[in-house]
Amino acid sequence: MRIDSIKNGIVIDHIAAGKAKEVYDALDLGKLDCQVAIIMNCRSNKMGKKDIIKIDNDFDVDLDVLGYIDPNITVSIIKNGERVEKKKLQLPEKIINVAKCKNPRCITSVERDLDQVFYLANREKRIYRCYYCESKAEKKG
Amino acid sequence: MKKFIIDPMDLSVEEIDDLIALANDIIKDRTRYQDVCAHKILATLFFEPSTRTRLSFESAMLSLGGNVLGFPTANVSSASKGETVSDTIHVTSGYCDIIAMRHPKEGAPVVASSACTVPLINAGDGGHNHPTQTLTDLLTIQREKGTLKNLTVGFCGDLKFGRTVHSLLKAMSRYEGTKFVFISPDELKLPDYLKEDILDPMGIEYKEVRSMEEVMPELDILYMTRVQQERFFNEQDYIRLRDTYILDEEKLQAAKKDMIVMHPLPRVNEIKTEVDADPRAAYFRQANNGRFIRMALILSLLGLQNEVERL
C-alpha cells in the first residue's frame, strides 16, 4: 500500500497499533480541511505493529494531549518534503479538558463550566488523578 | 496555615501539633476562649444533611462567642434552583468570616475555594475527605495515648470504602514508628493504591488479617468501622462476616490494658453496648473532642489563636 509523502505538514508516528482513532479524536482532526491519512497496523521493527497519522498541513499539535495518550508517540514537522523537527513527548504534569472524570460522585458531573483537570500522580505508572475528586483517569484500551 | 482546609494533608505535622496544643488548652479552660470570636460569623453551608457535624461546628463557633448562619440542607439553598457551587460560595463568602461546607459531590470544596474570599473548611465531600474527623481522631489519640508516635493502629471493618480510615492512615503515616494492622474480610480490604502510594514508599510496617482476635494483644488503638450490608453481593456473605467484626467484652479480654477503642460513629451493632462501660472505650470522648479541635481550627484560620492572651 502506498501513501504519498507529504510536503508540508505533520507526521504522528509510533502510535501503538489500534490507537490512531483515539489520537484522531483527541486532536479533533476531523475539523481539519486538509488531507489526513490514518495508516493502521504498519510493520515496525521496534514495535511490531504501529499506527501513523499524516496531516497534509501545518497544524499546532497539542503535545500534552499526545503525551497523555502515549509518550512514546513521535511528532515530525515536515517542510518542503524534509523533516525539520522531531518532537519527543513527555507525560504532561496537568491535562485540561482531555480526559473526563468517570466518578459519578465527582463535582465535575454537575458543576457547569468546570474544566476537567487531571494531574500526574504517579509518573512511573502513568497514573493521572482528577484534580477535584482524585479518582484515577481511565484511559481507553 | 493554608486558607482552605480541604484535605487533612493540607496541614503539616507542625500545624497539627499546634492545633492539638491549642485544643488541649481550650479543654483545660474553656471560659478563657468564650469571647475570642465575638462578632465573627461562621457560615455552615450543608448541601447534604449531617446533623452531627453541623452541630459540632456550630457548637464550636458559639463556644468561641461567635455567631453562626447557614442552611441545613440543599433544598433550602439556591443550589436547588440550579446555582453552581462556585456562585453560592462567591455570594455567601461576603456574608461571613469563615465557612464550613459539606457537599455530596467529591471535590466540591476545591471548586468552592476558587471562589471563596474567606477561610473555608471542608466538612465532608461525599466519600472523599473529611479533615475535621481526622483532626478529631488525632486529638483523641494524642490525649488518650499521650503521643502520636510509635503506635500500632488496628483498623477493623470496612477498609475499602471507609474514608475516615483512609484519611487517618495518611495522617498517621507521617508519625515515626507507626505500624498498621488491617482487619477486614477480603471483600472490604484496603485499596491497593494506599499501599502502593503511601505505605510501601514510606517503608511503613503493616499486615492484613481476617480476624481481630489474632492481633488484639498487639494493638495500641483499635479503630472500628461499620460493615455495611450494601457492600456485599449476597446476604449470606454479609451475615457470615458481620458477627466476626463485632467487638464485645470477651474479645477485649485479650487486648492491652491501655489499648483504646475508637469509632467515628454512628455505630450500629459493631461495638456491643456492654463495651461502653470499659475505660478503653474512647469513642464518646472522641466525639466530644470534635468540638474542641474545630474550635482550635476556627481560631487558627481566623488568625485569632493568640488572641486569648490579649483579652
Work out the minimum CA distance from A22 to partner chain B, whole angstroms: 27
Residue B89's identity, in one-letter code, is I
- pLDDT higher than 80, residue B53: yes
pTM: 0.89
Longest CA–CA separation in chain A, Å: 51
- pLDDT higher than 90, residue A54: yes
- B76 pLDDT band, cuts 50/70/90, is low
Is B239 exposed, middle or buried, given 0-12, 13-18 or 19+ CB atoms closer than 10 A? exposed
**A115 at B interface, C-beta within 8 A:** no
Respond yes or no: is residue B105 known to be catalytic.
no
Respond yes or no: is residue B130 known to be catalytic.
yes
Cβ atoms B89, B117 nearer than 8 A: no
Calculate the alpha carbon distances from A9 to A78, A80, A81, A88, B181 in Å. 5, 9, 9, 17, 59
What chain A holds in terms of domains, given with CATH numbers, is 9-88 (3.30.70.140), 94-130 (no CATH)
pLDDT at B40: 98
- pLDDT higher than 80, residue B297: yes
- Grid cell, residue B3, equals 486558607
Enter the DSSP assignment of A136.
B
- pLDDT higher than 80, residue A127: yes
Respond yes or no: is residue B102 known to be catalytic.
yes
pLDDT at B54: 94
- pLDDT higher than 70, residue A17: yes
- B127 pLDDT band, cuts 50/70/90, is confident
- pLDDT higher than 80, residue B73: no
Q: How far apart are CA B136 and CA B288, in angstroms?
A: 9
SS (H, E, C) chain B: CCCEECCHHHCCHHHHHHHHHHHHHHHHCHHHHCCCCCCCEEEEEECCCCHHHHHHHHHHHHHCCCEEEEECCHHHCHHHHCCCHHHHHHHHCCCCCEEEEEECCECHHHHHHCCCCCCEEEEEECCCCCHHHHHHHHHHHHHHHCCCCCCEEEEECCCCCCHHHHHHHHHHCCCCCCEEEEECCHHHCCCHHHHHHHHCCCCCEEEEECCCCCCHHHCCEEEECCCCHHHCCCHHHHHHHHHHHCECHHHHCCCCCCCEEECCCCCCCCECHHHHHCCCECHHHHHHHHHHHHHHHHHHHCCCCCHHHHC
- pLDDT higher than 80, residue A89: yes
pLDDT at B149: 98
CATH superfamily of this structure's domain B132-287: Aspartate/ornithine carbamoyltransferase (3.40.50.1370)
**CATH class of this structure's domain B4-129+290-310:** alpha beta
pLDDT at A59: 79
Among the partner-chain residues B85, B105, B193, the one whose CB lies closest to the CB of A106 is: B105
Work out the average pLDDT over B96-125. Answer: 96
Q: Which run of H or of E encompasses A56?
A: none
Q: How far apart are CA A74 and CA A24, in angstroms?
A: 14
Q: What are φ and ψ of residue B219, in 5° steps?
A: -85, 140
Contact B106 A122 (CB under 8 A): no
User: A96 CB contacts (<8 Å, ≥6 apart)?
Assistant: A115, A116, A117
pLDDT in tens, B180-226: 999 998 888 999 989 988 999 999 999 999 999 999 999 999 999 98
Q: How far apart are CA B79 and CA B115, in angstroms?
A: 15
- A9 pLDDT band, cuts 50/70/90, is very high
Lowest mean pLDDT among A54-68, B237-251, B291-305: B237-251
Q: What is the ipTM score, two decimals?
A: 0.86
**B105 at A interface, C-beta within 8 A:** yes
Please choose, from the candidates B119, B108, B113, B103, the residue with its C-alpha nearest in 3D space to the C-alpha of residue B43.
Answer: B119
Q: How far apart are CA B131 and CA B118, in angstroms?
A: 18
Work out the minimum CA distance from A127 to partner chain B, whole angstroms: 11
Chain B residues in contact with A135 by the CB 8 A cut-off are: 106
Q: Which run of H or of E encompasses A23?
A: helix A20-26
Residues of chain B with CATH 3.40.50.1370: 4-129+290-310, 132-287
pLDDT in tens, B146-178: 999 999 999 999 898 888 999 999 999 999 999
CB pairs under 8 A between A and B: 53
